[in-house]
Structure 1
């Protein structure tokens, strides 16, 4: 069915009517309001402000500064229950968020917002270009972060079934500012790589409020070096080397993640990162009840990644392979070209812009209204990669240029809330409309000079768009002073269109395909019942259905195997999620405890798996609908102040989850007898825990000792990746962190800390940071 009316700003009549009513009422309130403003002190979570029936964990900026060694905003949620942000190094731009039921390769199964601006890059569902744009927020500008678990609010799209992370940044009430300098250093030793990795960051904030106008300016500069992100290897040879083959030393015998024998030949993607953020936020009170706000953010990133060879010739010079011939490694014969393909360099040049325009009208009577329009745009996004042989390829030679410039997304949200008036109000009804559009542009060109050359012939291309329209409503219905039922639903219309793929096979043959337009729609009901059982205990039972529509990247991917090209699969079905949670909470003046029992069933789960393309014998990885998965478990989270001694606070969480594939008719075995049914869902560990102890003897000192634990994960649907402690494997780990903060006076604050105190070496596909020392100094005025 052709639905060409789906464009940003063109809604179905019912959606347009709701949004028009919201807009009209907002401006009517701005014109008629004469009541004095009411200033509410304190900062409530998003769930509290919107009466959302969801389990929420929060952390304020002050708490994060005391307990967390951080140089990027995603570090703020390092110890949140059931959460893992796969951040490989300081300044990593590929840092997806995993939750209690979703893995680190499933970025589109959670949502990240900053002041209403969507930071989630729902152009893909992976741990690469689908990762949230965390870097658009500097750590020093945040006020608090809320994490809401599960798809139990009609206000959010089905991508919320993992979690919704909402970052709230500061706006001043008077003139204020701060300057903060941070440094870090890591000593990394693994295989034949031994190096020191420094990082430094400077952040400046200024803000003021004068009459009806308030403004905030933030600037941040980061300079960091990473450990190797990849390791090159060749399969262990069983062919004896000839006497004429050159002898090469330095290879390291190891095993792949499936247990196969390999020889490690070098390390790759050691990255030097330079990043800058500049942001300005303006807010103006048009009346005591109506406020408008505008945000403009700019981020640029320049990275250089290089490779290191472990191999040496008989004379001791580095060896990087060759274009032909064989070499002798340990008495066996290896192809020089296979070794040569393991080494490459790349540069990244990125400039991203984000904008937000909002209008908020709050009335002391029955109605509140809010409208938010946002845009995220990649004005430049170039990755240049060498394809020639090292060492010459380090500086010049053939390569490819991947250009994601023009990629971006726009959103529009309007929300209204009606509060029943009276001495004992029974209903709070909220409703709204949503519109979004995502655009992926990603051609790759051949070039004769990978560092500075112009685009040559087209090598591959992936393009497409998706858009979603939604209407939602929910009613928080107070049955009695101790019981509240929240009933809601969300209806969504989704479309994928303008899909295009171009690919070049190894034979040089090219393939171009215009993909068909596809549509889907559906209704997602929500139900929650909260009971305040006593002054201390509350019980909440929640149920929600969610539809998670495929991203552009999942729909329009190129698959090329040898001389055969198979078109992308634009017919992926939406994930259909049924989720439930039963939460028991106990709150006292100095403690809180939550026990959550949860279960989640996903039909048509979109998981990258391995199968065989018709006409080939080589397994190929691609995204496909897995018939059914089931995740069930228990999460315990708590905090207690003044434990044993005054000033000692203990907090922590433990999450156990049984996540299995229950049906998978599309699975093709990669090894004899393998199966995916009954196996663990990829990237979801069975057990994860955190514990944090912070001692505050007075208002000046705070010392923290924290631990992070996870059992191993699997990366394949058939769980055949049995070897964890290797590149591409997923280790279990226990990591200890420590931090000390000292407030010298009202202006100066100094902190020092260590992450990975015991220098644990572990892999989460990539080798993760080893012991890292942090120090920062902040001046506030």
Structure 2
């Protein structure tokens, strides 16, 4: 179906881009439409749609990855709770943790074919959003039909991966279908998605280079590769791990009824199922050429040095995951465009089933049987309630627009792990570890947009929040088999976050805005109730972590013409009590260990340049891109304990925040049928430790700079049919962001629209 395309430029808006979104926003916003995505971007999963946004990176390791945190200007890959992600008002951010694991967003609850547009808001400058917005707010806006429509799309991809002892192709395929219609006041929309994907190795088995010469008679083992770890220590790479096969299904139903032209009620129900298995593959072989996986005891000879066979055996593991998640929302909207507008959204995400079975025994027996553990996150989930109203008491060149609302949420983390005698099919045995708890937030906010003059708009607002963590419980099993249960205390915090923006339209072409905002980012259950391994046992964490206290600023200057746009943003951020994992001592244990703590103060400041030009040099050529530089440093850190003499964290680069990021996209449309896109993405150096001791980034567990080029060709055959093909990582860059990332990957797509 033909649709008019909305303005896709950055704007300072006085109303939400989508009625389901939480609120008016005085901040800088970047937008992309479904038409742009179809022409320019190779998309298998919905998170692929964000790959060219300024300063944004989603850690997608393979198609079907469920651990995909998002970065922003000043936040890194392990900080999932510093960005808010919504789909039509439903929170997809998993604020049960702040990491790149179980805190990752529920991207998979949205099918790419649902997307109408995507908005990314930078900085905590809107009073309607919690302090988790200080990185960014991402709104996935989906569509409802105006008449009968249907789509069907098939995607296939193939990755050629070559690293260490692995040289193989990994394929994936996705089927998408939608159907919907409107009958008078009633409209409905159904979407379904099926994904079948194989990943490259996500981990590698490594052991430290031995200094002990092998004695005569030890079994000789071949196939390892000498390398260095991220701190420069010599290692041997012996295996590829976490080779994933993932099958996922997503289904969603959306219903809407218009009581009048001004008022509508909508309901959404989403379901996601994931069946995944992961195995390891050895690079080692004995003198007969048979695969070698280590042993329970003894030593072996690798390259003339002696290695523990049990240590080698510990590098091999398998896992099976079964997940079923449900998402639903109920929304009531008024669209009067008069003195009053209002919106209310109730949403819930529930992990009905979330089981991961993993082996702990030796390969190859552990491939088919043996002891293991069962992690059960079933019952984890959250409920959110948002209600807002907008009041316009007058009209004319000088006027106020007052928005206000209430918010409530409750997040629940359940994460017991059990021992089992049969990791594939056995029942839950003795409890091994457990971390559970709940957080609750209640908030009131108020924001006034004051049109001081036709060219000057001032926005003042504030958000008051009350936060509580309760029902916390930890359990850990020591090496001797003794269990240690701990009932954690109830903790509360509250605070007020003021916001202010002034925007001046200097002329028809120029716009200048200055924003200032405070944000309080309260700890997640996972940060408060983490189990910390100390030797052969676990120790409970600090349940009294303070909230992150963030002060952010942005000066944005924008020049916009009919065919071009340039924006420069100078931004700064000062964070007190930043929640970062680092080494420190635990009472009763002499060796420093790593866990999440409050770092006294960090400072991030930088500049972002965004550019767009239509009909650049020749008609039909569109150029766009961005460059971001960030100076991110730790200013004070009283709790840090060095593990190496002389190490310090003060003055070091804030972990996981790259210094440089850039994108450049060129799309040529010679006619209404063809679109040719060549794009590049660059991310600079970043560190994973507060003392920046990870000096060797180009290795497994390192974080290195990278540049990848992408290609896409889209052909619109007619109104119904389209064909696309493309390549991501055209230059076959081999890089690590802790894990090895995808190498050159080709795509093909066929779509039918009615």
Which string of whole-angstrom CA distances, capped at 9 and with x for unpartnered residues, describes residues 153-179 of structure 1?
Answer: 001000000000001001000000100
Which string of whole-angstrom CA distances, capped at 9 and with x for unpartnered residues, describes residues 605-659 of structure 1?
Answer: 0001122333434432210000000000100001000001000000000000100
**CA distance in structure 2 between the partners assigned to 1:727 and 1:40 by the alignment:** 47
**CA distance in structure 1 between the partners assigned to 2:203 and 2:14 by the alignment:** 44
Q: 1:207 to 1:745 in 2, by over 3 A?
A: same
Matches within 5 A, 1:426-437: 426-437=399-410
- Of 118, 121, 129 in structure 2, the residue corresponding to residue 148 of structure 1 is 121
Return 240-249 or 153-162, whichever deviates more. Answer: 240-249
Q: What is the Cα deviation at residue 364 of structure 1? A: 4.0
Which string of whole-angstrom CA distances, capped at 9 and with x for unpartnered residues, describes residues 36-62 of structure 1?
Answer: xxx999578894523421000000011
Q: Which runs of 4+ in 1 moved over 3 A?
A: 39-48, 422-425, 614-619
- Of 35, 53, 68 in structure 2, the residue corresponding to residue 80 of structure 1 is 53
- Of 21, 25, 30 in structure 2, the residue corresponding to residue 52 of structure 1 is 25
Correspondence for 2:381: 408
Establish whether residue 568 from structure 1 lines up as the match of residue 533 from structure 2: no
Q: What is the Cα deviation at residue 711 of structure 1? A: 1.1
- Of 342, 346, 351 in structure 2, the residue corresponding to residue 373 of structure 1 is 346
Aligned residues: 743
Return 563-572 or 470-479, whichever deviates more. Answer: 563-572
Establish whether residue 443 from structure 1 lines up as the match of residue 407 from structure 2: no
Establish whether residue 457 from structure 1 lines up as the match of residue 423 from structure 2: no
**CA distance in structure 2 between the partners assigned to 1:753 and 1:46 by the alignment:** 34
Correspondence for 1:70: 43
**CA distance in structure 2 between the partners assigned to 1:437 and 1:259 by the alignment:** 44
- Of 347, 353, 360 in structure 1, the residue corresponding to residue 333 of structure 2 is 360
Correspondence for 1:197: 170
What SS class does the counterpart of residue 415 from structure 1 fall into?
strand
**CA distance in structure 2 between the partners assigned to 1:694 and 1:86 by the alignment:** 25
Correspondence for 1:708: 681
**CA distance in structure 1 between the partners assigned to 2:675 and 2:738 by the alignment:** 35
Correspondence for 1:162: 135
- Of 186, 195, 211 in structure 2, the residue corresponding to residue 222 of structure 1 is 195
Correspondence for 1:120: 93
What SS class does the counterpart of residue 104 from structure 2 fall into?
coil
**CA distance in structure 2 between the partners assigned to 1:553 and 1:603 by the alignment:** 20
- Of 71, 82, 94 in structure 2, the residue corresponding to residue 109 of structure 1 is 82
Q: Is the 8 A contact 2:12 2:26 kept in 1?
A: no
**CA distance in structure 1 between the partners assigned to 2:46 and 2:307 by the alignment:** 45
Correspondence for 2:734: 761
Q: Is the 8 A contact 1:344 1:385 kept in 2?
A: yes
Matches within 5 A, 1:620-659: 620-659=593-632
Correspondence for 2:72: 99
Q: What is the Cα deviation at residue 563 of structure 1? A: 4.6
What SS class does the counterpart of residue 74 from structure 2 fall into?
coil
Which string of whole-angstrom CA distances, capped at 9 and with x for unpartnered residues, describes residues 253-309 of structure 1?
Answer: 111100001111101001000000000000000122110000000000010100011
Q: 1:157 to 1:766 in 2, by over 3 A?
A: same
Correspondence for 1:470: 443
Matches within 5 A, 1:413-562: 413-562=386-535
**CA distance in structure 2 between the partners assigned to 1:483 and 1:323 by the alignment:** 74
**CA distance in structure 1 between the partners assigned to 2:661 and 2:55 by the alignment:** 7
Q: What is the Cα deviation at residue 710 of structure 1? A: 1.2
Correspondence for 2:560: 587
Q: TM-score, normalised by structure 2?
A: 0.97
Establish whether residue 748 from structure 1 lines up as the match of residue 714 from structure 2: no
Q: Is the 8 A contact 1:365 1:421 kept in 2?
A: no
Correspondence for 2:657: 684
- Of 258, 275, 280 in structure 2, the residue corresponding to residue 285 of structure 1 is 258
**CA distance in structure 1 between the partners assigned to 2:326 and 2:672 by the alignment:** 40
**CA distance in structure 2 between the partners assigned to 1:387 and 1:431 by the alignment:** 53
Establish whether residue 597 from structure 1 lines up as the match of residue 570 from structure 2: yes
**CA distance in structure 2 between the partners assigned to 1:41 and 1:385 by the alignment:** 48
Correspondence for 2:356: 383
Establish whether residue 723 from structure 1 lines up as the match of residue 696 from structure 2: yes
Q: What is the Cα deviation at residue 482 of structure 1? A: 0.2
**CA distance in structure 2 between the partners assigned to 1:421 and 1:754 by the alignment:** 53
Q: 1:98 to 1:274 in 2, by over 3 A?
A: same
Correspondence for 1:773: 746
Return 499-508 or 442-451, whichever deviates more. Answer: 499-508
**CA distance in structure 1 between the partners assigned to 2:299 and 2:12 by the alignment:** 62
**CA distance in structure 2 between the partners assigned to 1:42 and 1:284 by the alignment:** 24
Q: TM-score, normalised by structure 1?
A: 0.94
Q: What is the Cα deviation at residue 355 of structure 1? A: 0.4
Q: What is the Cα deviation at residue 564 of structure 1? A: 4.9
What SS class does the counterpart of residue 76 from structure 1 fall into?
helix
Establish whether residue 669 from structure 1 lines up as the match of residue 642 from structure 2: yes
What SS class does the counterpart of residue 140 from structure 1 fall into?
helix
Q: 1:48 to 1:134 in 2, by over 3 A?
A: farther
Correspondence for 1:395: 368
Q: 1:365 to 1:614 in 2, by over 3 A?
A: closer
- Of 271, 281, 298 in structure 2, the residue corresponding to residue 298 of structure 1 is 271
Establish whether residue 611 from structure 1 lines up as the match of residue 584 from structure 2: yes
Q: Is the 8 A contact 1:46 1:166 kept in 2?
A: no
